[in-house]
Amino acid sequence: MNTSSAGYDLRPLTSAEREHRARHLSAAVRHVLFEHGTEPPFCGGLLEEKRQGVFVCTLCQLPLFRSQTKFDSGTGWPSFYAPFAADHVREVRDTSHGMIRTEIRCARCDSHLGHVFPDGPAPTGLRYCLNSAALEFCEQAPAPDGDTSPRR
């Protein structure tokens, strides 16, 4: 079994599991997750979320970021300086739009989350710039018991 450093199952979803989990998603959310889309700035539903909790992947519910690491970057997208666990996000070189960036994806379901930049605050100096459509807020992290069914 492929288990993360935080004890979560990181086995990739099958294409059937991925489609089953995606059946309830809107076209806008599918565009972000599957077509590497980006929401317009200052419109995401989680930009102003300030409660204590965890931000999980919209598709597979893997915990991705803790509210303690969220900060206001002024960019118009939710920003964090560190992931829930380093192995919960995957980095991919992105050369689209005439620039070199680092895309971040969910380590379990490979959904597009956003990008990471080297201009964030201490202690990491990183800014994980996320699409609200890629995340859901939970007051507590799901238990790392392998149950990753959508919580709707």
Catalytic residue set: 129
Token pair, residue 70, equals 């969220």
Q: CA-to-CA distance for 62 and 88, rounded, in angstroms?
A: 7
- Three-state secondary-structure class, residue 56: strand
Give, for 30, the enclosing helix (H) or strand (E). helix 27-35
Residue carrying the six token digits 């989680």: 46
Q: How far is Cα 52 from Cα 138, in angstroms, rounded to an integer?
A: 9
Q: What does the alpha-carbon distance between residue 64 and residue 27 come to, in Å, rounded to a whole number?
A: 22
Here the tokens at position 3 are 């288990």
129: left (phi over 0), alpha (psi -120 to 50) or beta: beta
